[in-house]
Amino acid sequence: MQLTKELYEQTLTDPVAFHKWILGNPMDLTEGQKQILRAIGQYPEVVVIAGSKSGKSTLSAEAALWGVYRLLQFDAYKKYGLTPGMRIYCMNIAPKEDIAVNVTLQYIKGLAYDSWYLSEYIKDDRRNELEFDKNIIARAQGSSSRAGRGYAIFNLIFDEAASFMDTRGNLSGAQVMQAFVPRLAPFGTDGRFIVITTPQGRGGIAWDLFKTGMPVNVIQKQVTHGEHKFRAAFQFATWGLNPLSQYAEDSEFMRKENFKDSWGFDREYRGLFADVVSQFLDTKAIQNCVVDVTLPNSEKTQSYVITGDPGFAHDNYAIAMGHLNEESLVIVDLVVKFEPPLNIIEVENFFDDLCKRYNVTDIVLDQHLSMATVQRLYLDKRLPARGISFGSKTDVKIYQNLLELINVMKIRLPDYEPLLTELRFLQRRILADRYRVEASSGHTDDLADAVALLAYVLNVERRLGGVVMF
């Protein structure tokens, strides 16, 4: 392809022209995508907050390759005073190494090989790098600050920066920024720092960069917007960037996702930052699931599951029992709380009594806190007890399932005020890569934990198949 001088000069300053004339217009750009790409051409820093399935990976790949393309046009060593022969990087950083390599870099490689221009300059293709002539490297890697030293970086792109670990250490967002951003310094305003991410809570590097940038197109306007005039800020819902009908705001898929979890929908698809702490369950939705549950004194035809939230000597020990009915609804038949000081023999005898009166096919307890109880129930009393390992992300799985069951009224809760109070006062706390469900100050969540685990075992393990994996 032959470019006129005018078109060639446009490709150097306007990534939209680069998309059309150098990449060969691999897809039709939406107006929002054009806005973002043009801002990348104009601003040293750009932060893009967007919902899932909005084409963030493609934008990230094109931004990286625009940097490669510009570097190919001149002698970077002479222009920037670099040591001859050193490598110059267009770097994509993602929360996990496998995502960076298997997703982002694959987009980069696909676009580069399909480009009539860039394909002529590819020198080597490695697992996490695509090397071009003039020692120009497109590289993708995980977000560890330890891996950020020593590079000369022309384009630095943080993919899903809101999910960078927001704690101390080499994986924290702040530490990663401190390690990588200074590597842009040799290139002055020619270099680019680009953040493209789905939002999380109102904290961390993505939020800080967004709330101080120049608001080119944002939904959640902040009084601090415009403090950093060198950074363009964007915020789009999924349907604001993705024109496909299945991702339209009023599509069947979107309506279903919003109904199941409106809080998660606002973050995941509307592209909105969430409050760091918020109420987890809607009080009205909880009440809609409350029924007068009548548990017979004995029942051997129905299969029941028992779950427990064990406590230490000075904690509560909560127990829940329930079943799936013929309509695959989760029925919580019984919730009980043993208060301290705990007598573990009394608790184990209670399990034994329930199994004598009901057809209990499964007893599921936290193996870390209940291994001795599990062994005594299983080995001594011959009860169907097992332990599962609760990891740091356990509550996300069990509580997300409970949230959706309550929102769509696929669970029946007993009219037991201690349980209902705990459910009402559950709060969701946003972390960098997930959320945590916990009791509000002054409240407990023992019964809620037991019921959430019961609902998970019945709905996910029993109804959908598989095993409880934490």
DSSP string covering 171-210, please?
TBHHHHHHHHGGGGGGGGGGSEEEEEE---BS-HHHHHHH
The contacts of residue 195 (CB under 8 Å, 6+ apart) are: 45, 46, 47, 48, 157, 158, 161, 205, 206, 209
Asked if residue 432 has pLDDT above 60, the reply is yes
Check residue 276 and give its pLDDT.
79
The dihedral region occupied by 382, where left means phi > 0, alpha psi between -120 and 50, and beta the remainder, is: left
Predicted confidence at residue 2, as pLDDT, reads: 77
Residue 438, number of CB atoms within 10 A of its CB: 18
Query: Considering Cα of 21, then 27, then 30, then 36, what sign does the dihedral take?
Result: negative
| Phi, psi torsion values for 69, nearest 5 degrees | -60, -45
Is residue 341 reached through a cis peptide bond, with omega within 30 degrees of 0 on the bond before it?
yes
Q: Which of 113-117, 344-348, 389-393 has the highest mean pLDDT?
A: 113-117
Where would I find the beta strands (DSSP E) of 378-417? 385-388, 411-414
In the prediction, which pLDDT does 313 show?
59
Q: What is the dihedral of CA 48, 226, 39, 143, to 10 degrees?
A: -40
The token pair at 91 is: 């770097």
User: Which phi and psi (to 5°) does residue 56 adopt?
Assistant: -65, -40
pLDDT tops 90 at residue 266: yes
**How far is it, in rounded angstroms, from Cα 351 to Cα 385?**
10
Tell me how far apart the alpha carbons of residues 71 and 65 are, in angstroms, rounded to a whole number. 10
Q: What are the chain's domains?
A: 5-260 (3.40.50.300), 283-463 (3.30.420.240)
Say whether pLDDT at 169 is over 60: no
Phi then psi for 178, rounded to 5 degrees? -65, -30
Percent of the chain surpassing pLDDT 90: 75
Alpha carbon distance, N-terminus to C-terminus of the chain: 54
How far from 456 is each of 206, 222, 447, CA to CA, in Å?
33, 39, 14
Q: Count helices and strands (H / E) in the chain.
A: 18, 19
Closest alpha carbon to 131 in 162, 187, 87: 87
- Bridge partners of 358, per DSSP, are 299
What was the pLDDT predicted at 129?
A: 97
Residue 149 has pLDDT above 70, yes or no: no
Question: Could you report the per-residue pLDDT of 67-81, keeping only the tens digit for each?
Answer: 999 999 999 999 999
Nearest by Cα to 163 from 201, 212, 128? 201
Render pLDDT for 323-343 as a digit per residue (tens, 0 to 9).
999 999 999 999 999 988 888
Picking from 459, 364, 461, the residue whose alpha carbon sits closest to that of residue 406 is 459
Average pLDDT over residues 34-56: 97
Q: Which residues of 269-291 are buried (b: 16+ CB within 10 A; e: fewer)?
A: bbbbbbebeeebbeeeebeebee
Paired sense of beta strands 435-439 and 129-132, if any:
unpaired
Q: What average pLDDT does this structure show over 100-120?
A: 96
Q: State how far the Cα of 380 lies from the Cα of 118, in Å rounded to an integer.
A: 70
Mean pLDDT of the chain: 91
Contact between residue 46 and residue 194 where contact means Cβ atoms under 8 Å apart = yes
365 bridge partner residues:
387
Give the whole-angstrom CA distance, residue 155 versus residue 137. Answer: 10
Residue 2, by phi and psi: left (phi above 0), alpha (psi -120 to 50) or beta? beta
Q: CA 229, CA 414: separation in Å to the nearest integer?
A: 56
State the pLDDT at residue 170. 45
Query: Which of 172, 195, 178, 243 has its CA nearest to residue 45?
Result: 195
pLDDT at 441 over 80: yes
| Collapsed DSSP state (helix, strand, coil) of residue 250 | coil
Rounded Cα distance, 281 and 402, in Å: 9
| Segment 453-463, tens digit of pLDDT | 999 999 998 77
The residues near 320 (Cβ < 8 Å, ≥ 6 apart) are: 306, 307, 308, 332, 334, 335, 336, 447, 450, 451, 453, 454
